[in-house]
Amino acid sequence: MRNWLAPPRSAPPRPTRSRRHVGVPRFLIRSVGRPRGWRAAGAALAVMGLVGAVLLIGATPPAAAGPVFVTRNGAAFDLGGQPFRFGGTNNYYLHYKSQLMVDDVFNDAAAMGLRVIRAWSSLECGGDKPNSAGGCSQGTDLWTQRWSNSANGPVYNTGPGGLQKLDYMLAKANQFGIKLILPLVNNWRDFGGMDQYVTWYGLPYHDQFYTDARIRQNYKSWVSTLVNRTNSITGVQYRNDPAIFSWELANEPRCINASLPTSGTCTADTLVGWANEMSTYLKGIDSNHLVSVGDEGFFNGNGCGSGSWPCNITDGVDNQRLTALPNVDFGTFHLYPTHWGQSNAWGTTWIQRHNEIGTALGKPMILEEFGITDQGARQSVYNQWLDTLRTGGGDGFNFWILTGIEDGGQLYPDYDGFRVTYPSNDATVLAAQAALMRGGGNDTIAPTQPGTPSASGVTATSATLSWTASTDSGGSGLAGYDVHREQGATDPLLAQPSTNTVVLTGLTPATQYQVYVRARDGAGNLSTPSGLVTFTTQQSTGGSCRVVYSASNWGGANGFTASVTITNTGSSAVNGWTLRFAFTAGQRVTDGWSATWSQPSGSANVSATNLSWNAVIAPGVSVGIGFNGSHTGSNPAPAGFTLNNASCS
């Protein structure tokens, strides 16, 4: 969400698209100053040198959350060998407000049973260069990085007005056993953000943040500083701190914001290329933590309403391509229908589509920000949205925004109209939904054990499995099944069908498989595993390519989302390609991504031709593409695929 600190100097060129609010800035935080009792350091070097300063948490030292990191297990999160689904919140001021205010938010989050807080980590200043429109928004004493002429680049504030506040936030998270999602920069001008990087170099366009080599290196240096920092309170390096749920590349990255203009050359390729570079860099220096992009979930596809601009790769954001990147662990999406010109009912469809995208990509998907300002409708709408998220396979939510008290004891102002305080009726609803999401609350009864699967139609790369369906008596309803391959300590997830039959594709030829099934209910409870079915795929008769096809039907509709992974199994590069296949049950491609898709009217034959950025497939390299389609009730996988007219396995 845009965290406004002052009114925009001028309206953005497309007011209905560039922000969720209309006419009123997100945060008019003019009156919010420094914490009480703060005294500015006499000189910048003195501030930066106070690395060893002690921040008091309380009479007792913080209790560690334990050496357990949240990890990804296929399309789900895992914590200590158990599925991890969560309800959580956002808060943007924990990294610069007083300890009293930080403590109050953590106390309220714990009381609500919230497991994850998404909290900001950066606050940029101009320093020896001009401030951007939102730069140094909290004053010259509170900052995390600013420009230094003597250093000829950004320098970092390791003192009590900088990273020591982040140290305190992490220490409190460990004390409460709460995990933190940490965005590394803000797309919007608040707290400096991307525009401050651009302003340091006197550049004119917002999207030069993604393309200028100097800025990309500055961003990497900032990331490295955080990852390698040792907490002044706990003595734990950030890279080794299990309180961090994930590093997030940015808050709501777009080609535009409401401050500096765009160059006009920024596209989805720009953002995908930047996210690929930065996620790869982050994983290279920190293998303990998950990585997400932090985008709002805009994508290319039909099915979310007439005139829905969020479904048109808005402002360069392509959620499917971003989430599919190899070093991005999970997808994110945000939801503010009122400010996007949509209805609350539209929001339910938006959630369903993103549940389907996550399933199709085989990665977790979380509703990372959401809110409506109509307090009369809020509780019923939030229940509807979160029921849809949970029962459709979503992995977590973070509502916008939990706030507490200020230093004087009064409530933090409701600057944007989305505020939730504890205790309140809103907090009660969200706490109950958090309990359901983590598998508690009203439903703690797991579904019955599914029957042992039977295998049929086994080919070199596919097999059909069927089993006796489970039942659920806990009240949240049967949501679907997780199909796993038995493979020692880690059993990979092969599919997540909603019914008791599935076609497994992309299997390895001439290979024995042992497969079992677990039923999953709407509260996230998992059944006892079924018995094992054993089958062996046939010998391959294909060429030097392999295709993995996965389709996920939309609940209650005749639509589906399919993902296709093409792997070059040969010894030479493929330079330019066309994938061809034929449907067998009257399915139609309605729209697609990462390729030029074609299906002539009245024909079952489908082709997908490369785009400029994925034309070359090196040996051993895979390319992911996908599409949305329609069916008439039956949706079997295509029987075979060819790449440049050669059969694939």
**What are the catalytic residues?**
252, 369
Rounded-to-integer distance, Cα 427 and Cα 422, Å? 6
Rounded-to-integer distance, Cα 589 and Cα 132, Å? 46
Rounded-to-integer distance, Cα 121 and Cα 182, Å? 6
Rounded-to-integer distance, Cα 465 and Cα 623, Å? 27
Rounded-to-integer distance, Cα 490 and Cα 397, Å? 26
Q: How many CA atoms lie within 13 A of 596 on its CB side?
A: 9
Handedness of CA 108, 111, 112, 117 (dihedral sign): positive
In 3D space, the residue among 389, 390, 418, 391 whose CA is nearest the CA of residue 402 turns out to be 418
> Is the CB of residue 335 less than 8 Å from the CB of residue 350?
yes
CA quadruple 382, 383, 384, 390: dihedral, nearest 10 = 100
Q: Which two tokens stand for residue 605?
A: 């034959």
Rounded-to-integer distance, Cα 467 and Cα 446, Å? 18
Rounded-to-integer distance, Cα 163 and Cα 157, Å? 6
In 3D space, the residue among 11, 260, 272, 27 whose CA is nearest the CA of residue 131 turns out to be 260
Give all strands (DSSP E) within 29-170, no chain letters: 70-73, 76-79, 82-83, 86-91, 116-119, 124-127, 145-148, 153-156
Cis amide leading into 401 (omega within 30): yes
DSSP conformation letters of 587-646:
-EEEEEESSEEE--TT--EEEEE--GGG-EE-TT-EEEEEEEEE-SS--PPPS-EEETTE
